[in-house]
Amino acid sequence: MKIGIVGTGYVGLVSGVCFAEMGNDVWCVDVNDAKVADLRRGHMPIYEPDLEVLLHRNLRERRLRFTTSLNEALENSEIIFLALPTPPNADGEADLSYVLEVAADIGIWLGAHPEAVYRIVVNKSTVPVGTADQVQAVLAEQGARPGVNFDVVSNPEFLREGAAVDDFMKPERIVLGTSSPRAGDIMKRLYEPFVRQGNPILIMDERSAEVTKYAANAFLAARISFMNEVANLCDRVGANVDKVRIGVGSDRRIGRHFLYAGIGFGGSCFPKDVQALLRTARREGYDFKILQAVLEVNKKQRMRLVHQVRSHFGGNLRGKRAAVWGLAFKANTDDVRESPAHAVIRGLLESEVQVTAFDPEAMTTSQAVLGESITYAKNAYEALSGVDMLLICTEWPEFRRPDFQRIRGLMRQPLIFDGRNLYNTQRMEERGFEYYSIGRPGSIRDEPFLTQ
């Protein structure tokens, strides 16, 4: 099939490459000239496991093309995906300007070709309920005829950064929101090769599809905040959240995923999507209490490690030196949008701690945000030289089994604050470390935090 993807970021690039890998002809459009030029040469703009190999193969096979011209993609595609940013505006609502501006441009092109063509315009961006209707109205305003030369489909994306290729190639479900049987059939044909194992393609109305995406993300975020609350209670009552997690997650009604306590959720999706759903509810006069709590818990949890550090040093941190392992919002990505690690670093800097950080992939993306406020180390061990403490903020595999003797030799004192619960608390004691984690024996109860 012939496909256009507008927006070549984490979602658009993965979608484009994976559709091409399935044998489709794909045109990817982006306004960023440098990114398009890089991609044409096979240079990856992001770190995402397994994506580069597929990018190269599909460029070579000429199934995948990159352009800055929307019209070029429109001429060559029957299905146009919008994988554009929907960042929060000042009120926390999703900013739809990227989506609606591109929709208007598509409408102009369709308006100029009223009879000859039929295109499906697909919202893959995460968008508030009612956006498919808005996109349809914008297209129609420009002279395009709904049902005749276009239909709009809402097709939210559920991929996880760090496992995006696998998630896209083997999705647990495909959600298609459309009231057009013609568009629904074509979209179903497009996705059938991805669900050969029998995972469902769910066709529903546009609004249900839009709510499904937000509800899924909000629910996952709620699990994390819930477990963080459980962890903080464990600290108070002398329980171990790791044991509680396994005990709770063994119940099939609950399941094992998304029950890890830590320093809160981040990334480009959960914080903005929970916020946007809350705003939608408020606009409709509905007080969605759980969502407010999910965000409040997360905000506090991001400072949990910093409060532990302050408590340990009796509040006086000026001139202390800290190493931070992990800058990405989670492992296996270079994405630092809303990264809890950055929040921790900002907290440390406010307390006049000097920070040296290392991340296997997110150094460049972090430098673009944090600039020269911290020092960047070439590897995990270099970051440790002469520091008073190590803080672990991202669960990268290489941090899981480090050389503890080497760590001890490099640090001024063997002191670790672990925001990801990577190590066994008892073994850390045997290794001679003062070791604090989240919701496990030895954690600081952290009065200033709990009384906030």
Nearer Cβ to ligand NAD (269/328): 269
Contact 119, 74 (CB under 8 A): yes
Angle at 175 between CA 25 and CA 4, to 5 degrees: 20
Nearer residue to ligand NAD within complex by CB, 3 or 309: 3
State the Cα–Cα distance between residues 41 and 43, nearest whole angstrom.
6
The nearer residue to ligand NAD, 135 or 269, going by C-beta atoms, is 269
Residues that bind ligand NAD (CB under 6 A): 6-12, 29-32, 35, 83-86, 98, 101-102, 125-126, 157, 159, 161, 268-269
- Residues in the chain, how many? 452
Q: Which residue is nearest to ligand NAD (CB)?
A: 9
Task: Determine the Cα–Cα distance for residues 380 and 361; give it in Å rounded to an integer.
Answer: 12
Closer by beta carbon to ligand NAD, 8 or else 58: 8
> Which of 26/415 has CB closer to ligand NAD?
26
Give the span between the Cα atoms of 385 and 321, in whole angstroms: 10
**Are 24 and 2 contacting, i.e. CB atoms less than 8 angstroms apart?**
yes
Judge whether 317 and 358 are in contact, CB under 8 Å: no
Least Å distance, CB 406 to ligand NAD, is: 35
In whole angstroms, give the CA distance from residue 63 to residue 189: 18
Which CB atom, from 102 or from 295, has the smaller least distance to ligand NAD?
Answer: 102
Catalytic residue among 18, 234, 269, 393: 269
Tokens of 349: 């800097």
**Least distance to ligand NAD from the beta carbon of 81, Å?**
10
Q: Which residue has the tokens 């003062």?
A: 434
Whose Cβ is closer to ligand NAD: residue 9's or residue 264's? 9
- Smallest gap from Cβ 215 to ligand NAD, in A, equals 14
CA distance 129 to 207: 5
Least CB distance from residue 162 to ligand NAD, whole Å? 9
Q: Which of 322, 348, 342, 350 is nearest to 412 (CA)?
A: 322
Q: How far is the CB of 367 from ligand NAD (least distance, A)?
A: 18
The pair of structure tokens assigned to 415 is 């002191």
**Is-catalytic flag, 269?**
yes
Q: Are strands 2-6 and 150-154 parallel, antiparallel or unpaired?
A: unpaired
29 beta partners:
6, 67
Name the percent of the chain in helix, strand, coil, to the closest 5: 45, 15, 40
Asked if residues 150 and 111 have their Cβ atoms less than 8 Å apart, the reply is no
Print burial letters for 88-112: b (CB count within 10 Å at least 16), e (below 16): beeebbbbbebbbebbebbbbbbbe
The least CB distance from residue 123 to ligand NAD, in Å, is 9
| 413 burial level (CB within 10 Å; 0-12, 13-18, 19+) | exposed
Q: How far is the CB of 364 from ligand NAD (least distance, A)?
A: 15
Query: What single DSSP character describes residue 156?
Result: -
Instruction: State in angstroms the smallest separation of the CB of 167 from ligand NAD.
Output: 9
Q: How far apart are CA 13 and CA 33, in angstroms?
A: 15
10 Å Cβ neighbour count for 270? 23
Whichever of 157 and 388 has its CB closer to ligand NAD, that residue is 157
Catalytic annotation, residues: 269
